[in-house]
Amino acid sequence: MLSSLAFSPAAMADRVLEVGHDSGAFASVQAAVDAATAGGEAATIRIAAGTWRGVVDVPSDAPALRFIGAGATQTRIVHDHYASRIDPRSGQPFGTYGSATMFVRADDFHAERLTIANDAGPVGQAVALVVDGTRASFRDVHLLGHQDTLYLRKAGTLVWFRDCRVEGTVDYIFGAATALFERCALHSVGDGYITAPSTPPEQAYGFVFRDCTLTAAPGVAGVYLGRPWRPHGAAYFVGCRFDGPVLAEGWHDWGKPGNRQTARFAEFGNSGRGSALDGRVSWRLDDSAPPDAVTLMQDWKPFE
């Protein structure tokens, strides 16, 4: 059982650090994170409206931190690294992981009312957010990119998104974590795959989408709900509305027929023009009960 399941953003300490343009405020988000980490106490970092350009790294030894923006369309954390760009520090490409605009390596992180974006454009893998820590929660956060927007990297970690927006093209939600998306908007800005889970076989759940809405930009011809990055990748869509052009097959095997025997993909009670199950691949799960939030998140309740 994971520790600290009682953690809640509402219970954060009173220490508040301001990122803004006024005298006495930190001039960058990273400077505030560094100060909070050095202080060693849980803290809220309030980030003023504006575009805050640069990589933000919440290190593994950071205390429980809470990022609060001025609004998802007003406070924007943005950078433009991508996988094939050369990192001047090493002389080597950044790679997919290293391309992220923001890294959350610490446990017990919360963010709300802001945007995290990678604006490198359609240049291959270019991550907006990497989550390595466990018990990371996000509310009213926009995650914007193209390929590989959101990397939920580590198996055994828990991540919860509520009332968020995720945009991308290929594999724009990917990784091995257990993640719950509630009332989120998933917006495809190009043809591709919404999810690419790499769930390990011993982990009960990968990505679960509840009451979400799937849309697409004009000109998008079709998208798959997902494909297994690793053989046992798992993704469920429950009570969602498919307003985007979801392809009739729904799911893709990544060109590896063996994945059809191991991937765990399922749909329950969805609606909208892309939700018809006629034509879906025969190897999707159709006889499993959708997980409830309590079971999925192991009694962790970050939004109370």
145-160 pLDDT, tens per residue?
A: 999 999 999 999 999 9
Query: Residue 13: its pLDDT value, please?
Result: 54
Dist CA 207 CA 229 (whole Å): 13
pLDDT at 7: 47
Return all residues near 138 (Cβ < 8 A) that are at least 6 apart: 110, 111, 112, 159, 160, 161, 162, 164
The strand pair at 223-226 and 207-210 is best described as unpaired
Would 14 be classed as within a structural domain? no
Residue 303 lies in a domain: no
Give the pLDDT band (50/70/90) at residue 3: very low
Tell whether the model's pLDDT for residue 295 goes beyond 90: no
Q: Is 61 among the domain residues?
A: yes
pLDDT > 90: what percent of the chain? 89
Number of domains in the chain: 1
- Does 288 reside within a domain? yes
In this predicted structure, what is the pLDDT of residue 109? 98
In this structure, which long-range contacts are made by residues 289-295, counting pairs with CB atoms below 8 Å and at least 24 apart in sequence?
A: 290/208, 290/236, 290/238, 290/266, 291/204, 291/205, 291/208, 291/236, 293/180, 293/182, 293/210
Residue 2's pLDDT is what? Answer: 30
pLDDT tens digits for range 89-141 = 999 999 999 999 999 999 999 999 999 999 999 999 999 999 999 999 999 99
* Catalytic site includes residue 171: yes
Longest dimension (CA), the chain: 62
Task: List phi, psi (to 5°) of 29.
Answer: -65, -40
**Residue 286 confidence class, pLDDT cut points 50, 70, 90:** confident
Q: Mean pLDDT across the stretch 203-208? A: 96
Asked whether residue 194 is assigned to any structural domain, the reply reads: yes
pLDDT at 5: 38
Strands 16-19 and 136-144 turn out to be unpaired
Measured distance CA(77)–CA(127) in Å, rounded: 13
User: Does residue 18 lie within any of the structural domains?
Assistant: no
Domain that holds residue 289: 56-297
Average pLDDT over residues 3-20: 64
**What is the rounded average pLDDT of the residues 8-31?**
83
Q: Would the pLDDT of 14 be above 80?
A: no
Residue 97 belongs to some domain of the structure: yes
Residue 8's pLDDT band (boundaries 50, 70, 90)?
A: low
B/e letters for 231-268, b = 16+ CB within 10 Å, e = fewer, are bbbbbbbbebbbbbbbbeebbbbbeeeebbebbbbbbe
| DSSP element (H, E) containing 293 | helix 293-297
Question: Given a cut of 50, is residue 4 above it in pLDDT?
Answer: no
Whole-number pLDDT of residue 24: 84
pLDDT confidence of residue 42: 97
Catalytic residue among 108, 148, 171, 253: 171
Task: Compute the distance between CA of residue 216 and CA of residue 221 in angstroms, rounded to an integer.
Answer: 9
Does residue 248 sit within a domain?
yes
CATH number, domain containing residue 184: 2.160.20.10
